[in-house]
Amino acid sequence: MSARRALAVAHRGDPWASVENTLEAVRLAAGAGASAIEVDLRCTADGVVVLHHDDDLRRLWGRPESVAALTLAELREFVPAVPTLREALEVADGVPLLLDTRDPAVATAAHAELGRLGAVTMFCGAAEAMAAVRARDERITLFLSWYGELPPSEGVLGAVRPQYFNPEHRFLDAESVAYWHARDVLVSCWTVDDADRRAELLAWGVDAIIGNDLNGVVKSCAERT
């Protein structure tokens, strides 16, 4: 099942070359040969989908405000560099975005925005958010992100119907990769910045690797034939 070249997925754009989840990070990832670009989503107080990981602006921008408490105009006044989903799609230059959220409301807002734009992309994130997208779209590609050692229940799998199972890489081994492949589910993992670990995962047949070390991820995935 995994003879194909693995996807090299940029984590939050190219965060080692620019600030994560900015247009520059997305542009650099697209130019560096990423197969897809994972970006994190939030919604502003007036319902605009933007790229940002944290609840608030402290870690990246040194401000205490919550993204959800600000309108887009207010957010732009405080932090002009936070882009909208629409802007990110434009600069990705055809490289698919992998839209990451744990929030069903944000996920459905993003899916609606894609419909207005006529854009096709992919989603990853927590089960509830992915189930909300699946309920709206039977054909869209979903990565079911997973955050623990125990596997998802059959109920979760039935609601999400993911094309990819997407755990943290430390929860994978050769047997678990083979298990998901036997169920006709591809395997992705995050966040892998060690070359030896990437080689091990790829030897097991992992189908997509998400990483900050974008050049390393692209090189490792290209080396698997």
Strands 36-43 vs 49-51: parallel, antiparallel or unpaired: antiparallel
Domains of the chain listed by start with CATH number: 7-223 (3.20.20.190)
CA–chain centroid gap for 54, Å, is 14
pLDDT reported for residue 165: 98
Amino acid at 136: R
pLDDT reported for residue 135: 98
How many Cβ atoms are within 10 Å of 58's Cβ, its own excluded?
12
- Comparing C-alpha atoms, which of 56, 58, 109, 63 is closest to residue 86? 109
Q: Are residues 50 and 42 in contact, defined by beta-carbon separation less than 8 angstroms?
A: yes
End-to-end CA distance of the chain: 13
Say how far apart CA 201 and CA 199 lie, in whole Å. 6
pLDDT reported for residue 4: 76
Per-residue tokens: 222: 């290209």
- Comparing C-alpha atoms, which of 86, 97, 107, 88 is closest to residue 37? 97
**Along the 225 residues of the chain, how does pLDDT read in single tens digits?**
445 789 999 999 999 999 999 999 999 999 999 999 999 999 999 999 999 999 999 999 999 999 999 999 999 999 999 999 999 999 999 999 999 999 999 999 999 999 999 999 999 999 999 999 999 999 999 999 999 889 999 999 999 999 999 999 999 999 999 999 999 999 999 999 999 999 999 999 999 999 999 999 999 999 986
Amino acid at 43: C
Backbone angles phi, psi at 199, to 5 degrees: -60, -40
Tell the residue number behind the tokens 């080396």, with chain if given: 223
**Predicted confidence (pLDDT) per residue in 7-35, tens digit:** 999 999 999 999 999 999 999 999 999 99
pLDDT reported for residue 2: 45
Amino acid at 150: L
Q: Are residues 97 and 39 in contact, defined by beta-carbon separation less than 8 angstroms?
A: yes
DSSP secondary structure, the chain, as one string? ---SPPEEEEETS-TTTS-TTSHHHHHHHHHTT-SEEEEEEEE-TTS-EEE--SSBSHHHHS---BGGGS-HHHHHHH-TTPPBHHHHHHHTTTPPEEEEES-HHHHHHHHHHHHHHT---EEEE-HHHHHHHHHH-SSSEEEEEE-SSSPPPHHHHHHH--SEEEEBGGG--HHHHHHHHHTT-EEEEB----HHHHHHHHHHT-SEEEES-HHHHHHHHHH--
pLDDT reported for residue 3: 57
